[in-house]
Amino acid sequence: MRTGELARTANVNVETLRFYEREGLLAAPPRGGSCRDYPVEAVSVVRFIRRAQELGFSLREIKELLALRKVTRAKCSDVAALARNKIDEIEAKIDDLRAMRNALVELVEGCHGSDPIASCPIIETLAKDDPSLADSRLSNQKTKGKHDGNRREN
């Protein structure tokens, strides 16, 4: 299967295939003359990579997943462990995003809208040389979230 055909079939562009090759995710195909001929299985590998990326796996993690597929003694629990680690990482990002959102909400609530720009609390906070205010707002939000236990909002 030629490069362009693989790219179309897997719904990626040719540069993506080259990138996957450089990163060691996709084996470089043998060259048939001046053309590259990929095996038909390359389509499923590229689709696997794309789906894993959509779930948030890094290229390093995808490499691990691809390698596990080839280990005959590997267990589903090996993959589940990687997935659990990814879930923990996603949960931490969600917590960070909530803290950032809450800090911004607090700043917006402190803005009266009619004040001149020179006294805008949002601008004042962002312009301060001491980043501890923004950091403390985020830290306070993170601390508040930790006291909520494992409860997650939807």
How many domains in the chain?
2
Do 92 and 66 lie in a common domain?
no
Pairing between β-strand 31-32 and β-strand 35-36 as defined by DSSP bridges: antiparallel
**Hey, is 36 helix, strand or coil?**
strand
> How far is 141 from 101, CA to CA, in rounded Å?
9
Last residue of a domain, one of 39, 70, 101: 70
**145 has a pLDDT exceeding 70:** no
User: What is the CB neighbour count within 10 angstroms for residue 10?
Assistant: 23
Q: 45-76: per-residue pLDDT in tens? A: 999 999 999 999 999 999 999 999 999 999 99
Q: Does 46 map to a domain?
A: yes
57 contacts: CB under 8 Å, gap ≥ 6: 65, 82, 86
Q: 88-122: per-residue pLDDT in tens? A: 999 999 999 999 999 999 999 988 888 888 888 88
Q: What is the CATH number of the domain that holds 14?
A: 1.10.1660.10
Distances (CA, A) of 76 to 64, 65, 73, 88, 147: 13, 11, 10, 18, 34
> How far is 136 from 124, CA to CA, in rounded Å?
15
Which of residues 115 and 9 earns the better pLDDT score? 9
Q: Does 83 map to a domain?
A: no
Reported confidence tier of residue 125, pLDDT bands at 50, 70, 90: confident
Q: Which domain holds residue 142?
A: 88-147
Q: Does 80 map to a domain?
A: no
